[in-house]
């Protein structure tokens, strides 16, 4: 399982697309922090010391789902399509393959978010531990969702298309559901997105998101157990 995790982690860092995404995330995070550092005294007076995270927060909320989908839409069906899955299942259980893939992709995003926040430290003079945990929890939801789609859908091209559609739809409907109580269907849909929990005043709601991620992960495990290669 850990071999799969490490393999997935390394492969993501070797991808040109991954490097491009990392540059965007780091660039936006540092750029916004540097700009806000010019208003350090004003931010302190307004009690907005965590504003240095604004760039990273916005890019993760808006583009994070699309970034995850573009990198991991074929995390399972890509192995099936290339027939390497037949080899993998002879070495370890299908459950370990799914969990290893999830851990590998999650570790990649853990490092990316950690690096971004470390670069903010010189401007903010502090490390945002709580915000780091919340950002990582948020992004792992989409890692689990991408894994689920890649397990359910056999064609990588189709899983990428559906993943892109969802990565645009979920942020839009999830955000609308936070502010519009009168739209019942959208409000209900927002309950299964991380945006509802991120948008609550009490930060403790964020820690309900892993339950949704676990649901996608368990569903992926159950489905892959029954798949023929």
pLDDT tens-digit readout, 59-71: 899 899 999 999 9
Helices (H) and strands (E) in the chain, counts: 12, 0
Q: What is the pLDDT of residues 165-217, one digit of tens each?
A: 999 999 998 888 777 766 777 778 888 999 989 888 788 899 999 999 999 99
| CB hemisphere CA count around 193 (13 angstroms) | 23
pLDDT above 70 coverage of the chain, percent = 91
Phi then psi dihedrals of residue 61, to 5 deg? -65, -40
pLDDT of 118 above 70: yes
pLDDT at 88: 86
pLDDT at 46: 45
Closest CA to 6 of 153, 129, 105: 105
Q: What is the pLDDT of residues 137-158, one digit of tens each?
A: 999 999 999 999 999 999 999 9
- pTM of the model as a whole: 0.91
pLDDT at 37: 61
Residue 227 to residues 76, 77, 85, 100, 154: CA-CA distances in angstroms?
A: 11, 11, 11, 18, 10
Domain ranges (residues) in the chain? 2-225
């Amino acid at each position: 399982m850990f071999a799969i995790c490490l393999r997935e982690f390394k492969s993501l860092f070797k991808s040109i697309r991954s490097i491009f995404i990392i540059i965007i995330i780091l660039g936006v995070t540092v750029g916004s922090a540097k700009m806000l550092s010019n208003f350090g005294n004003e931010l302190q007076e307004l009690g907005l010391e965590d504003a240095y995270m604004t760039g990273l927060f916005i890019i993760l909320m808006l583009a994070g789902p699309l970034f995850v989908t573009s990198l991991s839409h074929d995390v399972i069906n890509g192995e099936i399509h290339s027939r390497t899955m037949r080899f993998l299942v002879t070495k370890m259980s299908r459950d370990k393959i799914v969990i290893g893939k999830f851990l590998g992709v999650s570790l990649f995003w853990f490092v990316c978010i950690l690096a971004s926040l470390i670069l903010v430290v010189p401007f903010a003079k502090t490390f945002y531990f709580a915000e780091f945990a919340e950002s990582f929890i948020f992004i792992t939801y989409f890692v689990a969702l991408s894994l689920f789609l890649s397990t359910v859908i056999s064609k990588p091209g189709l899983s990428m298309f559906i993943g892109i559609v969802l990565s645009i739809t979920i942020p839009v409907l999830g955000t609308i559901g936070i502010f519009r109580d009168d739209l019942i269907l959208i409000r209900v849909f927002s309950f299964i997105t991380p945006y509802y929990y991120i948008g609550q005043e009490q930060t403790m709601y964020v820690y309900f998101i892993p339950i949704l991620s676990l649901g996608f992960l368990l569903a992926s495990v159950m489905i892959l157990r029954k798949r023929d290669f």
